Amino acid sequence: MQMWRTLLAILSAFLCFGAPNQAYAEDGYDLWLRYAPLDSGYRATVAPHVAQIVAATGNPQVDAAADELARGLTGMVGRAPARATTAPVEGAVLLATAGSPLLAGVALPFERLGKEGYVVRSATIAGKRVTIVAGNSGQGVLYGAFRLLKLIQTRQPIAALDIVDAPKLQVRVLNHWDNLSRSIERGYAGLSLWDWQKLPHYKDPRYTDYARANASIGINATVLNNVNANADILTPEYLHKVAALAEVFRPWGIRVYLTARFSAPIEIGGLKTADPLDPAVAAWWKAKVDEIYGIIPDFGGFVVKANSEGQPGPNDYNRSHAEGANMMADALAPHGGVMMWRAFVYAAENAEDRHKQAYTEFKPLDGKFRDNVLVQVKNGAIDFQPREPFHPLFGAMPRTPLMMEFQITKEYLGFATHLAYLGTMWEEVLQADTFRPARGNTVAKVIETPVDAGAATGMAGVANIGNDRNWSGSQFDQANWYAFGRFAWDPQARAKDIAQDWAAMTWGPGAAAPIVDMMMASREAVVDYMTPLGLGHLMATGHHYGPGPWVSDLARPEWNPVYYHKADAAGIGFDRTRTGSDALGQYAPQLVARWGNLKTVPDSLLLWFHHVPWDHRMASGRSLWDELVTRYDTGVGAVTAMQGQWQGLQGKVDPVRWAEVRDFLSIQHDEAQWWRDASVAYFQSIAKRPLPAGHAPPPHDLDWYKAIKNPHAPGQAE
Amino acid sequence: MQMWRTLLAILSAFLCFGAPNQAYAEDGYDLWLRYAPLDSGYRATVAPHVAQIVAATGNPQVDAAADELARGLTGMVGRAPARATTAPVEGAVLLATAGSPLLAGVALPFERLGKEGYVVRSATIAGKRVTIVAGNSGQGVLYGAFRLLKLIQTRQPIAALDIVDAPKLQVRVLNHWDNLSRSIERGYAGLSLWDWQKLPHYKDPRYTDYARANASIGINATVLNNVNANADILTPEYLHKVAALAEVFRPWGIRVYLTARFSAPIEIGGLKTADPLDPAVAAWWKAKVDEIYGIIPDFGGFVVKANSEGQPGPNDYNRSHAEGANMMADALAPHGGVMMWRAFVYAAENAEDRHKQAYTEFKPLDGKFRDNVLVQVKNGAIDFQPREPFHPLFGAMPRTPLMMEFQITKEYLGFATHLAYLGTMWEEVLQADTFRPARGNTVAKVIETPVDAGAATGMAGVANIGNDRNWSGSQFDQANWYAFGRFAWDPQARAKDIAQDWAAMTWGPGAAAPIVDMMMASREAVVDYMTPLGLGHLMATGHHYGPGPWVSDLARPEWNPVYYHKADAAGIGFDRTRTGSDALGQYAPQLVARWGNLKTVPDSLLLWFHHVPWDHRMASGRSLWDELVTRYDTGVGAVTAMQGQWQGLQGKVDPVRWAEVRDFLSIQHDEAQWWRDASVAYFQSIAKRPLPAGHAPPPHDLDWYKAIKNPHAPGQAE
């Protein structure tokens, strides 16, 4: 009975003091790193292989890897593994860089790992079965540790591992469109994480969790501030704040980048010009870059948005983008810095189809950029629409390092409340064949193949992260952050695999299958209820919240939705073939042939490239008008279907997150209906045709929809 | 051994599955409602008295009280109490309203409780020892339940209770200066809690925790939006969002109020005028108010900031504030609504000392306001400075319901990072003797005494709450939210008692004593390093972040710090005696005599009322100049002392919150030094006197301090 009493006392003490005082509901803060307890059957297969973590200390990334492994295993296996720096026991996990004495006698393929790759291998060393996690750098070890954790999180066997992996792109970078005021342009997840006023003294513990999450998916770089840049970030006061963040991120293998306002030499440098060919300007940038590296030794480099939407740039001085980019790249080169130069440009007084302008401007510059310049090209030529064909620059600049820019934040896909998994969209773009120089050169291959030995590669994602408790504004938008990291690591990855991993880690393996089904269909639903059949850019003005297909009064033609859909009594769509703007001509001949022909263009791009009569007969057998209405209703119906699928998960996932998703789906459904009703009402006023049978008329007249204003919509520019 | 194995299995299951996956660090989210486990000795005295919670269900506030008691007791005692609706057992807690059968045979002083008061009494009913928590309303029961929880949180004996308490003010209201964009004017804790875009569909669980926290300190009202108002809040779309919040708050006894833009009849009503005497305007407001009550049956009423800092108001139509307020009050009266009308007015083209203008404008209106109008008067006549004398309107309008307006958010006291407990400031104001009509009528008495039987009473606090995880932007600013609630409940409360309760509940009883010491000295430290000896309004322009005593170029004289300190070669300070602006003449003759005389005016108000020669001999024996410098250094030294006290608490409070406070104190110290150095440099340039011995010269010259700009400081107006 003595033992009984002792044990009861222990249990009682644990219940009363060891346990948390309050029930901490899951709220999404832990992202895909929940490390939830394993079921006992699987746990029994794991525990013998994670008895101990052995790592020589001193390398910050290896230390971070060991800490993270300990954290994850404690959560999943239920006890903290032993820690050691030498002398592995049976079942140890060895974390080691090449040359470590821990690996003596084991041949590992370090030559295949590059700087950041890793091997995870089951082995026997000195008679002990161990699991090796090794790389050429601490960063590789860190990624390997996250891989081992993922294997366990997704319930894979770990007894006989032999995994070799390495990232296919060098710069895997988030672009935060965060202002120094902490507002976020196109942000739907609260304020900027960066609390500038309290930096550098106070480093919010959340900065570390941000870095952990990024490291777990291979992101190795972050641009802290908005591409619509404020030069103040380059002043010493702010650079010391930036350095404090860089210090937090360093053990997690993340380098800090900043956007540079092209006119900074004037605004904070006291010069009269920012002309890139003026020696004083080049000298200013060189001195500024040297100053930055003095404060942040592993600073990554700059991003510049130049001569675009009102930003200053080299064109202001009749210099080319290459002249501007190279001047700044030369300042960065001695430090190993990278210059990311955005190709998202369209001119204020240019009547040319906006679709064509970036190509027109940049294609002639092919081969003229320094090797440490990455020209950052959006996935499509317009602007992050629910669907666009891939940007014609991909494949068209074979001598220029091009990097992909995806938008993780859903500026055009329903903000935070619409469930829209972007993995399928990104896979569609990355797997698109550019046919340049020949069949098979997909966009993925274009960006992952360095243009020469020293050239950079990369992928940028416009972040959807803010200080909301769940980071991304919704539970499901976490999946887009996650997927971006996975595609940046491997542009050949598949959206469904990524969704499966994310769902299993974030919601639990038991709930993953129906969640993956929801995710895989979700983006097409948005396309259908917002911009079906190749329509695009029909959103309301400025904030892009809700439908505005009727808008025609903005100062510049290409700001108006009517510019994009061109609906009239005869039909709808933008003729971008040779009879129209010939933007299509910027693509390879095979695509010109396929997309230029009404018989072979896919429905999904029909109105992107063609002005099509309302009575045009579609593959479905319906007229274009009937098909359009049908697609709108299909989109709404797909949201209804998701609501049903989610209802089926009640009780199978935690209640707080479940309820949030349920409520967000309800918002999405209402807004999908709003999109459908407003769009149908508007297009019907032009097509002047009856709705197809079985499709309900919009409940209000067109003026009612036009009168809806949302002046306080989130995410607006400063 | 069988039992052993069973128990081990239970323990193991609990460790692996019942426990949280990750160690949830305390981060301040739980505020003063942490309900941390009790030590076993005290727990043993509590447990027998909280064996069961008995409450008839159906009353939402009683249900909330029961749920909160269960939550708190589960956390503190370590097990959930039984719940029942009848049949109390030994040790039950009875929650009941007057007339409940549960109370049969017990005489309770319901006549002393009013609508919201409570009794908490130990009693024996049908042979069972029970604790009664009773009130005339569910709201009283709710407050009583929180009182019982506080007794346990602060380790009081609960075996023999007989507590009767009731609030002394009717409307205990937070004013959120939250914009519809979710930015917060003078907010330093993130975005507005109100996520308007997602309302009414999605009700963040945090809304409930907000309501719980407020209910726990007796706050019964909240104004959701900024006094610099946007009329959109009064449109049906927003009213339905407001209704969703009202629904969440209702069980916690909190009514929703809105600010009303005086020109709303023009902006959203389509009228040509907002003239309060125009029948169409009055009819519009009546219809709007009826509409609101149709959507929110327990709507509280309006707050209006009129003819102040650019806001529209009745003066635009040559009508008085009373005419404006009464028109809207008449619309509210049939529904029991309250009209809170701010007295913070100063005219654009008025050369009169700003100190005098509110009094000049409002005093003649005494007796002209409806009974359901509360004229909302800031604690001082200028604007929430670190120290001001009480506002001369208190005591001067005996026939007008006046309510106090305190500013909880620290616009002028260092934003979120400076530790400044405002309880001492508020006690100082509330205990100030107005001498009107005679000695002893303190400000507290003025506001708690209804001017007639039907008149309203109240206290407003400008909230410091945002969506930061810790609610208030810092751990210690939670104390100001807490203290406001306590003073609104009882204006005669004492700052030290409140600090003790807050510290014990928020940091644990063991850490409370040194924390209370820090708090009690903290506001005087801010006064000393920012605006000692009765100086005021010396902050930098617009954002009020940091020192700007030299600023003299703003459009209106009273916006400039030089207007307030009037330093010149002869001396420093604002002569508000009869030889100057005679603002002092707005106070009672006893105060005119005391404060108007250099011999009797306290040091703390010296320069508020007098222009004093630099060589004036102070009570300390020092010259004014030497005293001024000494005070600045005293303020900085006080922060250094707080840093030392906090260092002593390492390991005695949880590490995450401890580290945050440590870092914030470091920011405060740097900024106190900045204030001191900049102010000393500036005033020395005018006084042209050497620093007293032992006081270091500022490390930079005056121009260096003048050059500091903070364009991205938080909390700026839209």
DSSP B3-45: HHHHHHHHHHHIIIIIS-SS-----STTTT---PPPPHHHHHH
pLDDT score of A24:
63
Q: Is A8 helix (H, G, I), strand (E, B) or coil?
A: helix
Cis before A200 (ω within 30): yes
Q: Which of residues 556-595 of A touch B (CB under 8 A)?
A: none
Residue B297 has pLDDT above 50, yes or no: yes
pLDDT score of A51:
97
List, for residues A398-443, the tens digit of each pLDDT value.
Answer: 999 999 999 999 999 999 999 999 999 999 999 999 999 999 999 9
Q: Among A21-25, A70-74, A306-310, A378-382, which is the least confidently predicted range?
A: A21-25
- Residue A185 annotated among the catalytic residues of the structure: no
Count CB pairs under 8 A between chains A and B: 146
pLDDT score of A234:
98
Q: Which of residues 70-99 of A touch B (CB under 8 A)?
A: 71, 75-76, 78-79
Nearest CA in chain A to B1: A4
Pairing of strands A458-462, A402-407: parallel
Q: What's the angle, vertex CA B27, arms to CA B26 and CA B29, rounded to 5?
A: 105
Torsion of CA A28, A30, A33, A37, to 10 degrees: -90
pLDDT score of A311:
94
Please answer whether residues A302 and A259 qualify as being in contact, where contact means their C-beta atoms are separated by less than 8 angstroms.
Answer: yes
Chain B CB contacts of A197 below 8 Å: 415, 417, 545, 712-714
Structurally, what CATH architecture does the domain formed by B25-165 represent? 2-Layer Sandwich (3.30)
**Does residue B666 sit at the A interface (CB-CB below 8 Å)?**
yes
- Taking the CA of residue B419 and the nearest CA in chain A, the distance in Å comes to 14
Residue B121 has pLDDT above 50, yes or no: yes
Chain B CB contacts of A30 below 8 Å: 21-22
Catalytic site positions of B: 309, 383, 411
Q: What is the ipTM of this complex?
A: 0.95
The secondary element (H helix, E strand) that includes residue A302 is strand A301-304
pLDDT score of A14:
39
Residue A601 has pLDDT above 50, yes or no: yes
Q: Which of residues 163-182 of B touch A (CB under 8 A)?
A: 179-182
Q: What CA–CA distances, in Å, run from A5 to A9, B4, B7, B12, B78?
A: 6, 11, 11, 17, 18
Q: How far apart are CA B680 and CA B373, in angstroms?
A: 45
Contacts of A44 by beta carbon, 8 Å cutoff, 6+ apart: none
Phi, psi of B204 (to 5 degrees): -55, 130
Which of the residues A6, A198, A419, A705 would you substitute to probe the B interface, choosing the one with the greatest number of B C-beta atoms within 10 Å?
A: A198
E strand residue ranges, A212-277: 221-223, 255-259
Q: How far apart are CA A481 and CA A465, in angstroms?
A: 8
Question: How confident is the model over B642-660, as a mean pLDDT?
Answer: 98
Please answer whether residues B110 and B73 qualify as being in contact, where contact means their C-beta atoms are separated by less than 8 angstroms.
Answer: no
Question: How confident is the model over B198-213, as a mean pLDDT?
Answer: 98
Which position among A68, A383, A405, A626 bears the catalytic label? A383
Chain A CB contacts of B505 below 8 Å: none
Q: How far apart are CA B406 and CA B174, in angstroms?
A: 10
The string of DSSP letters for A618-665 reads PTTSSBHHHHHHHHHHHHHHHHHHHHHHHHTTBTTB-HHHHHHHHHHH
Q: How far is CA A355 from the centre of its chain?
A: 23
Whether A78 sits inside 8 A of B15 (CB atoms) is yes
Query: How many CA atoms are closer than 13 Å to the CA of A195, on its beta-carbon side?
Result: 22
Q: Among A41-45, A247-251, B55-59, B269-273, which is the least confidently predicted range?
A: B55-59
Q: What's the angle, vertex CA A481, arms to CA A475 and CA A485, rounded to 5?
A: 145
**Does residue A208 sit at the B interface (CB-CB below 8 Å)?**
no
Query: How many CA atoms are closer than 13 Å to the CA of A180, on its beta-carbon side?
Result: 21
pLDDT score of B7:
45
Whether A656 sits inside 8 A of B467 (CB atoms) is no
Q: Which residue has the tokens 């005028």?
A: B273
Pairing of strands A338-342, A301-304: parallel
Nearest CA in chain B to A15: B78
Quick one: how many helices (H) and strands (E) in chain B? 21, 16
Contacts of B51 by beta carbon, 8 Å cutoff, 6+ apart: B81, B82, B89, B90, B91, B92
Closest to B652 (Cα-Cα) out of B520, B521, B503, B523: B503
**CB-neighbour burial class of residue B418 (10 A; exposed 0-12, middle 13-18, buried 19+):** buried
Q: How far apart are CA A504 and CA A488, in angstroms?
A: 21
Structurally, what CATH architecture does the domain formed by B171-507 represent? Alpha-Beta Barrel (3.20)
- Taking the CA of residue A233 and the nearest CA in chain B, the distance in Å comes to 11
- Taking the CA of residue A60 and the nearest CA in chain B, the distance in Å comes to 22
Residue A331 has pLDDT above 90, yes or no: yes
Task: Round to the nearest angstrom and report the end-to-end CA distance of chain B.
Answer: 71
Q: Among A689-693, B210-214, B352-356, B592-596, which is the least confidently predicted range?
A: B352-356
Q: How far apart are CA B442 and CA A601, in angstroms?
A: 83
Chain B CB contacts of A18 below 8 Å: 19
Average pLDDT, chain B: 95
- Taking the CA of residue B188 and the nearest CA in chain A, the distance in Å comes to 10
Which position among A116, A411, A428, A490 bears the catalytic label? A411
% chain B with pLDDT above 70: 97
Whether A663 sits inside 8 A of B201 (CB atoms) is yes
Residue B362 has pLDDT above 80, yes or no: yes
Q: How many residues are present in chain B? A: 718
Question: How confident is the model over A494-512, as a mean pLDDT?
Answer: 98
Contacts of B598 by beta carbon, 8 Å cutoff, 6+ apart: B606, B610, B612, B616
CATH number among 3.10.20.30, 3.40.190.10, 3.40.50.300, 3.90.1330.10, domain A527-574+611-706: 3.90.1330.10
pLDDT score of A555:
87
Q: How far apart are CA A307 and CA A312, in angstroms?
A: 5
Q: Which residue has the tokens 């400044």?
A: B420
Question: How confident is the model over B422-446, as a mean pLDDT?
Answer: 98
Residue B13 has pLDDT above 80, yes or no: no
Whether B417 sits inside 8 A of A198 (CB atoms) is yes
List, for residues B375-411, the tens digit of each pLDDT value.
Answer: 999 999 999 999 999 999 999 999 999 999 999 999 9
pLDDT score of B454:
84
Residue A148 has pLDDT above 80, yes or no: yes
For residue A348, name the pLDDT band (cuts at 50, 70, 90).
low
pLDDT score of A190:
97
Which of the residues A194, A643, A712, A716 would you substitute to probe the B interface, choosing the one with the greatest number of B C-beta atoms within 10 Å?
A: A712
Chain A CB contacts of B4 below 8 Å: 3-4, 7
Question: How confident is the model over A54-81, as a mean pLDDT?
Answer: 96
Chain A CB contacts of B231 below 8 Å: none
Structure tokens belonging to residue A617 = 């007969």
Whether B202 sits inside 8 A of A30 (CB atoms) is no
List, for residues B160-178, the tens digit of each pLDDT value.
Answer: 999 999 999 999 999 999 9
Please answer whether residues B661 and B475 qualify as being in contact, where contact means their C-beta atoms are separated by less than 8 angstroms.
Answer: yes
E strand residue ranges, B185-254: 221-223
Which position among A309, A663, A701, A718 bears the catalytic label? A309
Pairing of strands B221-223, B255-259: parallel
Q: How far apart are CA B324 and CA B313, in angstroms?
A: 7
- Taking the CA of residue A13 and the nearest CA in chain B, the distance in Å comes to 9
For residue B536, name the pLDDT band (cuts at 50, 70, 90).
very high
Q: What is the 3-state secondary structure (H, E, C) of B690-713?
A: CCCCCCCCCCCCHHHHHCCCCCCC
Q: How far apart are CA B502 and CA B476, in angstroms?
A: 10
- Taking the CA of residue A193 and the nearest CA in chain B, the distance in Å comes to 10
Tell me the helix, strand and coil percentages in chain A, rounded to 5.
40, 10, 45
List, for residues A135-146, the tens digit of each pLDDT value.
Answer: 999 999 999 999
List, for residues B477-521, the tens digit of each pLDDT value.
Answer: 999 999 999 999 999 999 999 999 999 999 999 999 999 999 999
Q: How far apart are CA B160 and CA B670, in angstroms?
A: 50
Q: How far apart are CA B198 and CA A319, in angstroms?
A: 46
Closest to A384 (Cα-Cα) out of A172, A587, A527: A527
Structure tokens belonging to residue A254 = 């993340």
Q: Is A93 helix (H, G, I), strand (E, B) or coil?
A: strand
For residue B24, name the pLDDT band (cuts at 50, 70, 90).
low
**Does residue A670 sit at the B interface (CB-CB below 8 Å)?**
yes
Question: For residue B615, how many other CB atoms are within 10 A of its CB?
Answer: 13
Q: How far apart are CA B318 and CA B323, in angstroms?
A: 10
Domain positions in chain A:
25-165, 171-507, 527-574+611-706
**CB-neighbour burial class of residue A20 (10 A; exposed 0-12, middle 13-18, buried 19+):** middle
- Taking the CA of residue B194 and the nearest CA in chain A, the distance in Å comes to 11
